[in-house]
Amino acid sequence: MGEKELTSREVLIMKCVWSSERELSIQEIQAELRERFDWDAKRSTVRTFMRDMEQNGYISVERRGRHSYVKALAGEESYKKRQAEKMVDLWFDGSKLNLVKTLTGKVSEDEQQYLRGILDELGDD
């Protein structure tokens, strides 16, 4: 996967691709963008974004007959992890604790117990 960051629109395209268990046509991606993200993107617009994404190693696009099919080359989980690490570095000075404090400002007793369980599991390693 390339080092170039995805734009916000490219992330929406990737979310469509990642959510499918099979390769998607550009038309299917357009329909999903419209349905899930209220983005009525033209085919040429989606194709322009995908050309950059392909050059940066996020997807592969294969032409079959009259249609192009898109497959993810970058994994969603690894992308999310990388983005989360960058966010922690940028906004929380590298402190995961500060992130957790921000996210858990007001939590219920049940949520506190759930978080304690997660921390206990981490301690078991």
Top pLDDT among 71 and 124 is at 71
Structural domain boundaries, residue 61: 8-72
Q: Is residue 51 part of a domain?
A: yes
Residues 103 and 119 in one domain: yes
Q: Map residue 27 onto helix, strand or coil.
A: helix
Share of the chain above pLDDT 90, in %: 69
Residues 66 and 104 in one domain: no
Q: Is residue 2 part of a domain?
A: no
Partnered with residue 61 across adjacent β-strands are 70
Please give the pLDDT value at position 111. Answer: 80
pLDDT in tens, 87-113: 999 999 998 878 887 887 777 888 888
What would the two tokens of residue 75 be? Answer: 């994994």
Residues 116 and 86 in one domain: yes
Residues 84 and 107 in one domain: yes
Exposed / middle / buried, residue 6 (Cβ in 10 Å: 0-12, 13-18, 19+):
buried
Q: Is residue 42 part of a domain?
A: yes
| Dihedral sign of CA atoms 6, 10, 16, 20 in order | negative
Domain count, the chain: 2
C-beta atoms surrounding 18 within 10 Å:
16
Please give the pLDDT value at position 125. Answer: 58
Q: What pTM, to 2 d.p., does this model score?
A: 0.79
Partnered with residue 24 across adjacent β-strands are 70
| Beta carbons of 11 and 18 less than 8 angstroms apart | no
| Dihedral sign of CA atoms 117, 78, 28, 24 in order | negative
The mean pLDDT of the chain is 90
Residues 53 and 82 in one domain: no
